[in-house]
């Protein structure tokens, strides 16, 4: 593809960068020579000023080098700092000169110093300093006002240039930095981002779509009429559902009225059409991300949650490396299931709340962004979920579908792959329930014009060999290094493969698997995770040094008892999640704080042989009493049998 023609603004910026390079070299050369001269003359002030100007010149050149390496925001910040340093030095020097060069100073020090300095040179020419003054009809007394005037003019000019030019350049570079985020820790990595930059975006990647309707909800539909209709088993119209979603946000539906309707929906249900309308109304209750200006297929993945489910941490950089754009909006953990945002925040400094320019930058330059939901995206769901959580209406499939799909569709994605889990550690306990939920969400996606697929996966035992926060981050990094557990990689590859197919990057699952193997073996997927981590404020040095992650004060191994023989027959995922909660690694309510350091690692899997003393898992804890209670729960979670159990396939079905 031929390069795009530069815009006038881009041409202007290119010229200014060339000028900054000239400024940098000229500052280093001229100020360097002046510093040497000041050193031999014993002028400490001049020497200090010269050295600082040399430093500012080096900072300008360093900023230009970073820009050439595509480290845009960091390079611009170096240019801003260089201009501010030069502005400060010149302004202080000029103000000092204006204040110190008074009449007494000129008479008592400056002119005698000038006489002593010039006299040897004038003697070579055969004239004296007094003769030189007489030739211009000057004396020392009337020379003082003239020198004072010239001094004010020179230092005033320096001050004016410093404020106008250096200050103007600093402001210009600062404005160019807006919308960029810096790569604070990025190290050398294989070449990335070969595609040309997309055209400039609209002012914001968020657009508030109109939610108005020709119906006057205030007069046409009262909360009582809608509640009564659904209570009696009637089907709600689209306008009534829109009225409900808007009323929850603007307060027209009181909490007790919204709760009454939720309970009516729980018992009477919603048709597929009603569920699709509710999803759309909830999505339109707030702002919607518009990513149409970003080139490439925007594909996301969502899991219904489980224990040890750290797939998102591996999948996002992996899919991005293979060519997709992954705007992944995730949630926090509640109960025994862990949250992706909490795991990411176990990385020191990692930010999950990103501004629209930061999201745009992440998707364009890295290909993935892992972020939390803002208050302006699907506010109706936030209010309804809080009510469902305290009124026993959480496990209602139409409400679950509308909650999940409204948030995902508000991301502005092109396609979505769902991981619907069932089993002891999942929200859906039976496969039939999981299939029902998956079909409902796929139908909603299709009704909204999106390509959606759902995988049905088991969650009777934790996914992988680690559960917690730090422990799961470490295991996810190990997967990107090619050393991940087989079951975790199986689910990750299955989900990513369907994302690549829906995004048009691969035609078949075998082609997708080949691309993923190359991304892992080449180290590009790990490099992409490193870049994402650094761009979102995290310290990517944790990738090479796990001790930089939160670490528990005590780590013990739980071993099999004397009567353990045969095989591992059960590793109850729910009880493992309860053990982590007992350690302080989970939430009972949203406001609870999470201990990132606690958790499990080296967990055994169903079907593995066991004998007395075999390590069952490694327990990470900070409180001895909590550790003892968690150990008791874990020993109850792991069962043994004399014969090898029959293993169910991990990925059991595909709904599309």
From 3.40.50.261, 3.40.50.1010, 3.90.1170.30, 1.10.3720.10, which CATH number describes the 554-649 domain? 3.90.1170.30
Look up residue 202 and give its DSSP letter: P
Higher pLDDT: 280 or 29? It is 280
- Whether 71 shows a pLDDT value over 60: the answer reads no
| Phi, psi dihedral angles at 171 (to 5 degrees) | -65, -40
- For the packed helices 524-535 and 356-365, what is the interaxial angle rounded to 10 degrees? 160
Higher pLDDT: 98 or 324? It is 324
- Cβ(84)–Cβ(170) under 8 Å? yes
pLDDT of residue 335: 59
Give residues with Cβ within 8 angstroms of 457, minimum separation 6. Answer: 419, 420, 421, 422, 491, 494, 650, 651, 652
- Whether 157 shows a pLDDT value over 50: the answer reads yes
Q: CATH topology for 285-548?
A: Pyrimidine Nucleoside Phosphorylase; Chain A, domain 2 (3.40.1030)
For the question of whether the overall pTM of this predicted structure is more than 0.85, the answer is no
pLDDT tens track for 559-595:
999 989 999 999 999 999 999 999 988 876 666 788 9
pLDDT of residue 330: 81
- Which helix (H) or strand (E) covers residue 489, if one does? helix 486-502
Give residues with Cβ within 8 angstroms of 61, minimum separation 6. Answer: 21, 24, 25, 28
Average pLDDT estimate for 467-473: 94
| Phi, psi dihedral angles at 655 (to 5 degrees) | -110, 125
Between CA 467 and CA 600 the distance in angstroms is 5
| Nearest residue to 288 via CA among 301, 279, 296, 297 | 279
pLDDT of residue 188: 31
Lookup result for tokens 């119906």: 215
Give residue 391's pLDDT band: very low, low, confident or very high (50, 70, 90). Answer: confident
Higher pLDDT: 619 or 329? It is 619
Give residue 1's pLDDT band: very low, low, confident or very high (50, 70, 90). Answer: very low
- Whether 192 shows a pLDDT value over 60: the answer reads no
Going from the C-alpha of 619 to that of each of 126, 346, 567, the distances in angstroms are 94, 18, 21
* Bridge partners, residue 335, by sequence: 587
pLDDT tens track for 528-562:
999 999 999 999 899 999 999 999 999 999 999 99
pLDDT of residue 38: 67
Give residues with Cβ within 8 angstroms of 121, minimum separation 6. Answer: none
Give residues with Cβ within 8 angstroms of 240, minimum separation 6. Answer: 221, 226, 229
| Nearest residue to 492 via CA among 304, 307, 313 | 313
- Whether 611 shows a pLDDT value over 90: the answer reads yes
Per-domain residue ranges of the chain = 8-177, 285-548, 554-649
Give residue 85's pLDDT band: very low, low, confident or very high (50, 70, 90). Answer: confident
Higher pLDDT: 148 or 559? It is 559
- Whether 81 shows a pLDDT value over 90: the answer reads no
Percent of the chain residues topping a pLDDT of 70: 77
Long-range contacts of 314-317 (CB under 8 A, 24+ apart): 314/476, 314/479, 314/480, 314/484, 314/488, 314/492, 314/525, 315/492, 315/495, 315/496, 315/499, 316/368, 316/370, 316/532, 317/368, 317/480, 317/525, 317/526, 317/528, 317/529, 317/532
Report strand pairing: 609-610 vs 566-571.
antiparallel
pLDDT of residue 18: 53
Active site residues: 302, 381, 388, 403, 407
pLDDT of residue 422: 94
Q: Is 188 exposed, middle or buried (0-12, 13-18, 19+ CB in 10 A)?
A: exposed
Look up residue 251 and give its DSSP letter: T
Average pLDDT estimate for 332-344: 75
pLDDT of residue 264: 94
pLDDT of residue 196: 35
pLDDT of residue 168: 73
Percent of the chain residues topping a pLDDT of 90: 45
pLDDT tens track for 3-58:
344 445 445 545 555 555 556 676 677 777 767 876 776 667 777 877 887 887 77
């Amino acid at each position: 593809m031929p390069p795009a023609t530069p815009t006038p603004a881009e041409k202007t910026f290119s010229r200014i960068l060339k000028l900054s390079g000239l400024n940098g070299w000229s500052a280093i050369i001229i100020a360097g020579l002046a510093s040497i001269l000041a050193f031999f003359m014993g002028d400490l002030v001049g020497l200090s000023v010269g050295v600082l100007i040399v430093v500012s010149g080096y900072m300008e050149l360093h900023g230009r080098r970073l820009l050439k390496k595509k480290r845009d925001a960091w390079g611009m910040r170096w240019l801003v700092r260089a201009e501010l340093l030069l502005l400060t030095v010149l302004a202080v020097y000029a103000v000092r000169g204006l204040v110190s060069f008074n009449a007494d100073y000129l008479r008592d020090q400056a002119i005698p110093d000038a006489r002593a300095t010039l006299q040897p040179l004038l003697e070579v020419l055969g004239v004296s300093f007094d003769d030189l003054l007489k030739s211009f009809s000057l004396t020392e007394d009337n020379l003082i006002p003239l020198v004072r005037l010239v001094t004010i003019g020179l230092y005033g000019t320096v001050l004016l240039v410093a404020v106008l030019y250096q200050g103007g350049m600093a402001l210009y570079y600062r404005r160019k930095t807006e919308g960029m985020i810096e790569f604070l820790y990025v190290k050398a990595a294989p070449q990335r981002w070969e595609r040309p930059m997309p055209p400039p975006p609209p002012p914001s990647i968020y657009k508030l779509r109109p939610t108005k309707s020709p119906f006057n909800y205030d007069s046409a539909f009262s909360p009582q009429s809608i509640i009564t209709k659904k209570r009696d088993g009637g089907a709600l119209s689209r306008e009534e559902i829109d009225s409900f979603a808007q009323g929850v946000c603007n307060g027209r539906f009181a909490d007790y009225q919204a709760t009454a309707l939720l309970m009516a929906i729980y018992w009477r249900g919603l048709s597929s059409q009603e569920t699709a309308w509710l999803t759309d109304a909830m999505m339109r209750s707030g702002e919607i991300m518009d990513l149409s200006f970003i080139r490439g297929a925007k594909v996301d993945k969502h899991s219904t949650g489980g224990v040890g489910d750290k797939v998102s941490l591996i999948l996002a950089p992996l899919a991005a490396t293979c060519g997709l754009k992954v705007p992944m909006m995730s949630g926090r953990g509640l109960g025994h299931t862990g949250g992706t945002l909490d795991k990411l925040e176990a990385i020191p400094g990692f930010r999950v709340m990103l501004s629209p320019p930061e999201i745009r930058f992440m998707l364009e330059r890295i290909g993935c962004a892992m972020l939390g939901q803002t208050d302006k995206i699907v506010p109706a769901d936030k209010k309804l979920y809080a009510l469902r959580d305290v009124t026993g209406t959480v496990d209602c499939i139409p409400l679950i579908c509308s909650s999940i799909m409204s948030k995902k569709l508000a991301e502005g994605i092109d396609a979505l792959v769902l991981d619907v889990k069932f089993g002891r550690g999942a929200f859906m306990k039976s496969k039939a329930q999981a299939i029902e939920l998956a079909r409902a969400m796929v139908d909603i996606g299709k009704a909204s014009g999106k390509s959606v697929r759902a995988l049905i996966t088991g969650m009777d035992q934790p996914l992988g060999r680690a559960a917690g926060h730090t422990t799961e981050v470490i295991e996810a990094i190990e997967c990107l290094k090619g050393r991940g557990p087989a079951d975790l990689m199986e689910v990750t590859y299955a989900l990513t493969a369907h994302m690549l197919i829906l995004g048009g990057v691969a035609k078949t699952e075998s082609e997708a698997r080949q691309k993923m193997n190359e991304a892992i073996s080449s180290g590009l997927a790990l490099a992409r995770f490193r870049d994402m981590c650094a761009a979102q404020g995290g310290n990517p040095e944790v990738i090479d040094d796990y001790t930089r992650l939160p670490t528990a004060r005590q780590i013990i191994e739980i071993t099999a008892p004397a009567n353990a023989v045969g095989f591992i027959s059960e590793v109850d995922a729910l009880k493992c999640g309860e053990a982590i909660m007992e350690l302080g690694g989970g939430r009972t309510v949203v406001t609870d704080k999470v201990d990132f350091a606690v958790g499990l690692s080296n967990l055994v899997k169903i079907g593995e042989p066991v004998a007395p003393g075999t390590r069952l898992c490694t327990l990470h804890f900070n409180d001895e009493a909590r550790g003892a209670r968690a150990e008791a729960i874990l020993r109850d979670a792991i069962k043994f049998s004399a014969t090898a159990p029959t293993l169910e396939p991990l990925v059991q079905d595909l709904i599309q």
